Amino acid sequence: MNRANKLTDEQYENNFEELTPPFTRNSAVSEAFRCLYCFDAPCIRACPTHIDIPTFIKKILTGNPLGSAKTIYESNWLALTCAKACPVDDLCEGACVLNEKGEKPIQIGRLQRYSVEYYLDSGKGNLFNKKSFNGKSVGIIGSGPAGLACGAELSLLGYKVEIYESDKVPGGLNTWGIAPYKTRQYDSLREVELIKNLGVTIHTCVTIGQTISFDELLNRHDAIFIGIGLGESENLDIPGENLKGVSGAVKLIKEIKKEKWSSIDIGRRVAVIGAGNTSIDAATNAKRLGAEEVTIIYRRSENEMPANNFEYELAKSDGIIFKFLTSPIEIIGNSSVEGLRCLKMELGEKDEHGRRKPVPVPNSEFEIPVDMVITALGQKFNAEFLELIPDIKISNRKLLVDTDTYQTGNPKVFAGGDCINGGKEVVNAAYDGKQAAHGIDRFLTNTP
Ligand SMILES: Cc1cc2nc3c(=O)[nH]c(=O)nc-3n(C[C@H](O)[C@H](O)[C@H](O)COP(=O)(O)OP(=O)(O)OC[C@H]3O[C@@H](n4cnc5c(N)ncnc54)[C@H](O)[C@@H]3O)c2cc1C
């Protein structure tokens, strides 16, 4: 593989510097002053966790950032990550009424970050009311946002909560997946600490289905919550996928999150396959590691690409090249990647989801010289241990749950996050975890 030149430590730090810096106290207050405190605030409806946004902003204005943080945490236990990594343009800020007036929307994400960091930096300890222990315990599989949110909520409701996590560092994709120019591991681990301080125990290096069986877990606890996310990258299923220089996007980003940037080998010319948010993360991260040319290859057109507008604009401003209507058919090379053989595509009839299907253009084969291929076709659900359990249903590689209670076919077992929604955002997993905690509480207290 032709490797990109190594950068200096200072260059790496600059490249991975956070995209949105924090507000100072004064700038937070003057931004809060712009909020109209709408009667039927559309921002609350647009937030999947329904944070009372006007109230937390008002508390910043009245000099009460701790109260503001409390309001935020009442709805969302992953408030720091969400403040920094939520696609706010599509959610709360996109719904702000100031957009309709042709003005800049309130920077809700940055204000949320201001209050939450104020609280975390203050050392004020626990702001939350906790019920006394009710004698029951819940086991949670996975310490990603879904598992953490579920654990935090159950702990306040009086349950003993034990989280079982395969990795040696907790936090799921908040720790290992989100691009470092949005959040650092430090942010994720601060949230993990907050939740541990509510009384939640996290056992790391424990894989359910290997270290402990699922049946054993069912015997240990009164209820189980499954928040295992989507473990593995999808394969391309084309020749050459095993060549040196081919990497899954999540695996590469996991290395990048360790922040030992100079130790990562990155190609000079990199192709990223797929055009979702993870592909953009992989492409912009590769560029920041020093790759000279990064090309995103997508078989449909710009109109169908799944990445949201913010990510697309970010990639373009980083100089990422987009090759639309292009499908890879072979990765070429002897022992390591030397190129990518592709076909041109055109859009044909609509598929069952209403998207026009890409169809190969005859005799359109061509090659792109690259030294590295990053696959980002999405993640797949990987939980063999669940396939053995008859009353837990899996369809279309998602765990099936009741949409109100988050209960699976087994009344003692609940689930939420990416493993039930096929892969959304942190804020959706945080919501699921919290709602599932209430589903579990209703089940264990026989409350309809
Ligand atoms: C590269 C990438 C970038 C992203 N960027 C953003 C972003 O900028 N903003 C945003 O909002 N969302 C982003 N997302 C999506 C977001 O990270 C996920 O939606 C969210 O983390 C899902 O939370 P979860 O708890 O369901 O799963 P995860 O975060 O995946 O956590 C699942 C946890 O379960 C553990 N586990 C799995 N199986 C077992 C087992 N058998 N036993 C014990 N433990 C187990 C795993 O080790 C993991 O820690 C990104 C995703 C990826 C892949």
Which atom number of ligand 1 is nearest to the Cα of residue 424?
A: 19
209 vs 224: CA distance, rounded Å: 14
Which atom number of ligand 1 is nearest to the Cα of residue 86?
A: 11
Query: Tens digit of pLDDT for each residue in 331-349?
Result: 999 999 999 999 999 999 9
Which atom number of ligand 1 is nearest to the Cα of residue 417?
A: 26
Measure 227 CA to ligand 1 centroid, in angstroms.
9
pLDDT value at residue 353: 79
**Of 3.30.565.10, 3.40.50.300, 3.30.2290.10, 3.50.50.60, which CATH number belongs to 234-377?**
3.50.50.60
Q: Give the domain 9-122 fold.
A: Fumarate Reductase Iron-sulfur Protein; Chain B, domain 2 (1.10.1060)
pLDDT value at residue 21: 94
What is the residue-averaged pLDDT of the chain?
A: 95
Measure 175 CA to ligand 1 centroid, in angstroms.
9
In the 8-state DSSP scheme, what is residue 18? Answer: -
- Residue ranges of E strands in 70-189: 137-141, 160-164
Query: Tens digit of pLDDT for each residue in 132-165?
Result: 999 999 999 999 999 999 999 999 999 999 999 9
In the 8-state DSSP scheme, what is residue 135? Answer: S
> Which mutation among 191, 425, 427, 428 tests ligand 1's pocket best, with the greatest number of atoms within 8 A of CB?
425
Q: For the CA atoms of 80, 83, 85, 91, what is the dihedral angle to 10 degrees?
A: 140
Measure 168 CA to ligand 1 centroid, in angstroms.
15
282 vs 268: CA distance, rounded Å: 14
- pLDDT reading at 389 higher than 90: no
Tell whether ligand 1 has an atom less than 6 A from the beta carbon of residue 109.
Answer: no
pLDDT value at residue 232: 78
* Residue ID of nearest Cα to ligand 1 atom 10: 425
pLDDT value at residue 384: 83
Give the model's confidence band at 329: pLDDT under 50 very low, under 70 low, under 90 confident, else very high. Answer: very high
Measure 146 CA to ligand 1 centroid, in angstroms.
8
Task: Classify residue 134 as exposed, middle or buried by CB count within 10 Å of its CB (0-12, 13-18, 19+).
Answer: middle
Tell me the percentage of the chain whose pLDDT exceeds 90.
Answer: 90
Measure 173 CA to ligand 1 centroid, in angstroms.
4
* Residue ID of nearest Cα to ligand 1 atom 20: 426
Cα 126 versus chain centre, distance = 26
For residues 421-429, average pLDDT: 96
pLDDT value at residue 186: 96
Tell me the percentage of the chain whose pLDDT exceeds 70.
Answer: 100
Measure 333 CA to ligand 1 centroid, in angstroms.
33
Contact 200, 163 (CB under 8 A): yes
Tell whether ligand 1 has an atom less than 6 A from the beta carbon of residue 229.
Answer: yes
Class of domain 137-230+385-444: alpha beta
pLDDT value at residue 23: 98
- pLDDT reading at 388 higher than 80: no
Contact 27, 122 (CB under 8 A): no
325 vs 344: CA distance, rounded Å: 6
Which atom number of ligand 1 is nearest to the Cα of residue 173?
A: 29
Tell whether ligand 1 has an atom less than 6 A from the beta carbon of residue 209.
Answer: yes
For residues 4-8, average pLDDT: 92
230 vs 10: CA distance, rounded Å: 34
- pLDDT reading at 369 higher than 80: yes
For residues 233-239, average pLDDT: 89
Structure tokens that stand for 223 in this block = 């209820």
Contact 29, 291 (CB under 8 A): no
pLDDT value at residue 182: 96
* Residue ID of nearest Cα to ligand 1 atom 4: 178
Tell whether ligand 1 has an atom less than 6 A from the beta carbon of residue 304.
Answer: no
Contact 415, 436 (CB under 8 A): yes
Global pTM value: 0.96
275 vs 294: CA distance, rounded Å: 13
Tell whether ligand 1 has an atom less than 6 A from the beta carbon of residue 417.
Answer: yes
pLDDT value at residue 95: 98
Tell whether ligand 1 has an atom less than 6 A from the beta carbon of residue 228.
Answer: yes
Cα 323 versus chain centre, distance = 25
In the 8-state DSSP scheme, what is residue 202? Answer: E
179 vs 277: CA distance, rounded Å: 10
Residue 297 region by backbone torsions, left for phi larger than 0, else alpha for psi between -120 and 50, else beta: beta
Measure 343 CA to ligand 1 centroid, in angstroms.
33
For residues 41-60, average pLDDT: 98
Same fold across 137-230+385-444 and 234-377: yes
For residues 417-443, average pLDDT: 97
Tell whether ligand 1 has an atom less than 6 A from the beta carbon of residue 165.
Answer: yes
Query: Tens digit of pLDDT for each residue in 168-197?
Result: 999 999 999 999 999 999 999 999 999 999
Query: Tens digit of pLDDT for each residue in 247-277?
Result: 999 999 999 999 999 999 999 999 999 999 9
> Which mutation among 82, 86, 89, 178 tests ligand 1's pocket best, with the greatest number of atoms within 8 A of CB?
178
Measure 425 CA to ligand 1 centroid, in angstroms.
9
Q: Which residues of 70-87 are buried (b: 16+ CB within 10 A; e: fewer)?
A: bbbbbbbbbbbbbbbbbb
pLDDT value at residue 390: 79
Measure 231 CA to ligand 1 centroid, in angstroms.
8
- Structural domain boundaries in the chain: 9-122, 137-230+385-444, 234-377
For residues 290-315, average pLDDT: 95
111 vs 60: CA distance, rounded Å: 8
For residues 411-433, average pLDDT: 97
Rg of the chain in Å (alpha carbons): 23
Q: How does strand 372-375 pair with strand 269-273?
A: parallel
Tell whether ligand 1 has an atom less than 6 A from the beta carbon of residue 280.
Answer: no
Say which residues have a Cβ less than 8 Å from residue 349's Cβ, sequence separation at least 6: 356, 357
> Does residue 437 sit in helix, strand or coil?
helix
pLDDT value at residue 334: 94
DSSP assignment of 406-425 equals: -B-SSTTEEE-THHHHSS--
* Residue ID of nearest Cα to ligand 1 atom 6: 178
Measure 236 CA to ligand 1 centroid, in angstroms.
21
307 vs 3: CA distance, rounded Å: 28
